[in-house]
Amino acid sequence: MNGHALDSLGDHGGAERAVRRAIAIALKAYGPDHAKVIDAKRTLAMIQISRQSWQDAEATLLGAIVSQHKLGELTPLDSLELALAHVYVNMERFAAARAATDRAKPIIFTQGENSYMVAKWHEARARVEHGAGNHDRAKAELRIAHAMLTKLKGAEHLETQIVERFLREKHYLPMRASSPALNVFMQESSG
């Protein structure tokens, strides 16, 4: 089984071991600054984020970002900077999170103003602003994200509904990955 499958089954330790093996193999075969190594590091970081292992995810993402810059392949769909911003919000390092979203913006916005990743950028920026106590800015970013998600995914799509609910209830967005508000919403939506 691969790391994604193990992680989705809740075997985060097994997932991390499998992905670390994949990284070691890719490093040996391709060297540190190869797309396959960067992709494996991205997967490892997502597993670390799902475990709320923020320092490990930060280190993994920073390494992948350095390699990605050396390789010169910066693509909007795999913005490591947005993932890093999410990590920094959960570490309550809002200036670093804002800087990460700033670095991600020119990469993501190359897809055009009405892309899914641009909507996700606005949602990430709302998290940053909310965590930093800038609630008016957070709400403005979240409104943009909501309008874009409604247009791109539809009003009934789960992501659109989550953003709408946070706007309606003035929660803006959950601060942490384990937000009680998000957990309640997910339970209500699946039931």
**Residue 15: inside a domain:** yes
pLDDT value at residue 78: 59
Give 137-173 pLDDT, tens digit per residue. 988 999 999 999 999 999 999 888 888 888 887 655 5
Q: What is the number of structural domains in the chain? A: 2
pLDDT (average), residues 62-70 = 90
90-104 tens-digit pLDDT: 999 999 999 999 999
Higher pLDDT, 107 or 1: 107
User: Do 175 and 103 share a structural domain?
Assistant: yes
Q: Do 154 and 118 lie in a common domain?
A: yes
Domain's final residue, options 73, 95, 110: 73
Contacts with 105 (C-beta within 8 Å, 6 or more apart), sequence order: 121
- Residues 121 and 36 both lie in one domain: no
pTM for this model (two decimals)? 0.80
